[in-house]
Structure 1
Amino acid sequence: MTLENLTIAAIELLKKLIETSSFSGEEDATATLISEWFITHNIPYKKVNNNIYATTKSFRESKPTLLLNSHHDTVKPNKGYTKNPFKAIIEEGKLYGLGSNDAGGALVSLLATFTHYYHQENLQYNLVFVASAEEENSGPHGLHSILDTIPKIDVAIVGEPTLMQLAIAEKGLVVFDAIVKGTPSHAAHPNTDNAIYNTIPVLEWFKNYTFKKTSKALGDVKMTVTQIDAGIQHNAVPAEVKLVVDVRVNDAYSNQDICDILEKESPCTSITPRGLLLNASSISSEHDLVKAGIAIGRGTYGSPTLSDQAVLSCPSLKLGPGDSTRSHTADEFIYISEIEEGIRLYIEILKQVII
């Protein structure tokens, strides 16, 4: 199939994906659509839960393996939509619809790229393509659940909207549940140990705390209190205040490092991480993939947003068509030209590395 026909087919698939609901954990129908692509192109594939994967025809265990990954689940549409989020609408070169930008454009572009290289012999790398599930909610049946099933990965390209610039590092994430305690009482009586008032200096501590290590690619660790919950009625002082703290971790720390620091230093009564799986990730600027991208005019940067990179232990590059600022917004869209460019640039970058 010519590159032009592959590109047309990829855009048609994206239209179908947009018009098929695929909320995290409910991706059965889009998994079927992706399976049909492989059947149409005579490519053997496997399905684990709603993750679909395939390897290039000339796969050899003696070669290093490059993962091409993007996700096919979406968030739920917000109330600001003026267009039908489940209708693929093309206007003025824009393809509108839920998941078009995050990350349908990258998904179909990587799928077209994998298909382009599927039959080629004597590649320097094996290619493994994974259309992953449950990325948006970091669910239990996402990419990390099949890493022991697919071939061992040496390096990865994770397809997310980056305007086809090279995200050579990505912040990790740890969400903490914290508690500030006090003495419960009736509001009419004196109380010098009011849990809500006790929370004021705690909030100031979180606001002003600075982690010592910075990162050239990702800057500082960013810590934000995002939720507060306390009290059940107007005349009762609660026994405790619950906080949720969102920490975006740079590549100078592991998530365990952050956990150890906050458990030791934070002024909360208790602070507990919900999980430590989503670590920061990066790839050397000297890696052949990065150098190949730079050679064709792509820039590098550090990404503050989370992706399936977080569950990979190998070097990984985030790269894809579309713009991250459009993700999760009302009337989400991607330019048709961005998909066309994405496929062309993916193929060109890989050509310098795997041929």
Structure 2
Amino acid sequence: MIDPDLQLLFDTLAIDSTWGRERELAEFMAEQMRSWGVDDVELVESAPGRPSVGGRIRGSGGGKSLILNGHLDIYETSPDWTRDPFSPEVESGRVYGAGIADMKAATTAALAVIRRIATSDERPRGDVIFQGVSCHFEGGVGTRSLLDAGFAADAAICGEPTDNTIGTVHRGAAYLKITTFGKQAHTSAKEMGLNAIETMEPVLAAMRELEGVMPYTPHPDLPGGPNLNIGTIHGGTKHNQVPDRCEMTCDIRLLPSQDPYDVKLQVEQMISSLKTTDPRIEATVDFSDHWLSGPRLPYEIDRSSDISTTVAAAVTATGTAPVYQGIQFWTDMVPLKQFGIPAVNIGPGTPPYSWADEWVELAKYRQIIDIYANSVNLWCK
């Protein structure tokens, strides 16, 4: 018989909550919290058919409140899995399961802490709030919907995978869509058309050059400059038609000194410069709809902030020295900040975060439960 904390992790890993299918997991977590006697439990529709789940343990009074935030949605599983992604198992000190690193281990750890408190004889003075959010990959839509529904607090801890190091700073991102325009024609009369794929070619080359010349201020916790990935390109309809449209999407990961709106302007200026030497180029630059659903702004909070020092003390109480490390990806600390809630991040899991045969060290899962529990004790008194 396995212990309740590991069983809870097995239960959440067995539920397929692939991006867009979060409902079953949200309903499972809501049912569990109600069975434990959590005071306020609510399913909040963050998007049609995609609920987030909030739970609140009301404090006895006079203490500060704390959110434990984790997302339910996971990425699609790779066909390279050598084991069943939704039949979790432990092997050689690792727990395997789809989405365990990003980020079911941390989300379940937060839920395990909620169970500890709700089923104990003592209540902290401040409220403890669980946020199990859907639509994270849309840019924190689930977190914002739970905050709008009243599941807010004085501070928050997010649990994105950082190998149980404390993250107080992370990169932002600009998801851009560039479209070049031409004129359709048949191959036999191609001189009467304008090939939008061909006019996209200098744009692609210029984007790769732009990655190395964007202005930014180096950050000691985030080595290197901005990173650019050209993710998709689509153009044309048939092999014998001159394409009148070509669309490219890219992801540019930014430093805290950079602003996504400024980066978009830099790309527009780059294309204007290209047009002076090749007047055939007609192009538009837009943020993708996926970015607009939740702008991926950079985040930073001072290490000396109250929530940061509290979490550091919570780590120390587990017998481990706290380690601070910058986060290369985006987190829901941004929407929390936009609601006036300071946050830090700490959770188990290592790069590449989502991969075939995904795993988390069992010891790190157990440690993060203790870190979250210690944080509640220290913060909420």
**TM-score after normalising by structure 1:** 0.86
How many residues align structurally?
A: 346
Task: Give the Å deviation of 1:27.
Answer: 2.1
Shift, 1:89, TM fit: 1.7
SS in 1 for 2:168: strand
Q: CA deviation at 1:288?
A: 2.6
Matched AA of 2:207: F
> Who is 1:212 aligned against?
215
Q: Does 1:288 align with 2:314?
A: no
| Counterpart residue number, 1:13 | 8
Aligned to 1:46: 42
**Aligned mates of 2:132, 2:175 — CA distance in 1:** 26
2:18 is matched with which residue? 23
| Matches of 2:285 and 2:360, distance apart in 1 | 40
Instruction: Please give the alpha-carbon distance, in whole angstroms, between the structure 2 residues aligned to 1:204 and 1:23.
Output: 35
Q: 1:298: how far off?
A: 1.9
Structure 1 residue ranges (4+ consecutive) displaced by more than 6 angstroms after TM superposition = none
- The equivalent residue for 1:240 is 245
Gapped regions of structure 2 (runs ≥ 5): 46-50, 273-281
CA distance in 1, matches of 2:56, 2:165: 26
One-letter code of the match for 2:234? Answer: D
2:59 is matched with 58
The answer as to 2:262 corresponding to 1:257 is: yes
Residue matched to 1:68: 68
Map of 2:324 onto structure 1: 300
**1:167 equivalenced with 2:170 (yes/no):** no
- The residue aligned with 1:341 is 367
Amino acid at match of 1:22: S
* Matching of residue 34 in structure 1 with residue 35 in structure 2: no
Deviations 1:68-91 (A, max 9, x none): 100122222111111011112222
More displaced 10-residue stretch of structure 1: 306-315 or 204-213: 306-315
Name the structure 1 match of 2:342. 315
Report the RMSD for the aligned CA atoms in angstroms: 2.8
- Give the Cα separation in 2 of the matches to 1:319 and 1:53: 20
Equivalent residue number for residue 357 of structure 2: 331
Distance 1:245 1:279 in 2: 16
The amino acid that maps onto 1:339 is Y
Query: What is residue 132 of structure 2 aligned with on the other side?
Result: 131
Structure 1, unpaired ranges of 5+:
none
For residue 272 of structure 1, the aligned residue among 282, 286, 294 is 286
Q: Distance in 2 between matches of 1:94 and 1:260?
A: 46
> Are the equivalent residues in 2 in contact too, given 1:279–1:311 (CA < 8 A)?
no
Identity of aligned residues (%): 22
Q: Normalized against structure 2, the TM-score is what?
A: 0.81
Q: Per-residue deviation at 1:332?
A: 1.3
- Post-superposition shift, 1:244? 0.7
Aligned AA (1:129): F
Conservation of the 8 A alpha-carbon contact between 2:131 and 2:146: no
> Using the alignment, how far apart are the partners of 1:221 and 1:181 within structure 2?
28
